[in-house]
Copies of this chain bind each other. A is one copy, B any other.
Amino acid sequence: MVYLTRVEHFNAAHKLYNPNWSKEKNEEVFEGCANENWHGHNFDLYVTVKGEIDPETGFVMNLKDLSKLVKQHVLTKVDHKNLNLDVDFMQGKMASAEVLISEIWKLIIPHLPVGVQLHSLKLYETHKSFVEYFG
């Protein structure tokens, strides 16, 4: 079994804000991330699939297909968007990297070819912080 990773990038705006809390509590917990006028990030998304090598291609799966799949089912929904306002699958949820990565998992899973499993996602939010999810 070999693990294959594709890295894609997207840019988005968001804020961290719990509507059940006061503005003061939001600012205490989330500091600058609670700015009501939003801030944003360049997100780097690592999508890792695993499977046996197909002897005819030498591939676990065609990397171009993996890239297209991620662009079609994830990037069109989040790139140059506001995670809180524009993204259907984030409605009513906290727009944190942790929630985002667990939702992106659900977007990719149905589209993988037979015999290929989604192993993990990694999402960089800044140079100094990232989250990982294994389902």
A residues sitting closer than 8 Å to B (CB atoms) are 1-9, 11-14, 16, 18, 20-21, 29-33, 35, 37-42, 48, 53, 55-60, 62-64, 67, 79-82, 85-86, 93-99, 101-102, 126-134
Contact = CB atoms under 8 A, between A and B. Distances in A.
Number of identical monomers bound together in the oligomeric complex: 6
A8 B42 contact: no
A82 B5 contact: no
Interface of A is mostly: mixed
Contacts of A3: 131-134
10 nearest A-B residue pairs (beta carbon): A40-B40, A58-B94, A32-B80, A58-B96, A37-B82, A3-B132, A13-B38, A13-B13, A13-B40, A39-B80
Nearest to A31: B64
B133 A85 contact: no
A102 B37 contact: no
A94 B19 CA distance: 32
Given A16-B58, A39-B40, A132 B5 contact: yes
**Which of A8, A13, A35, A129 gathers most chain B CB within 10 Å?**
A13
B29 A12 contact: no
B35 A82 contact: yes
Given A35-B86, A39-B13, A81-B37, A96 B132 contact: no
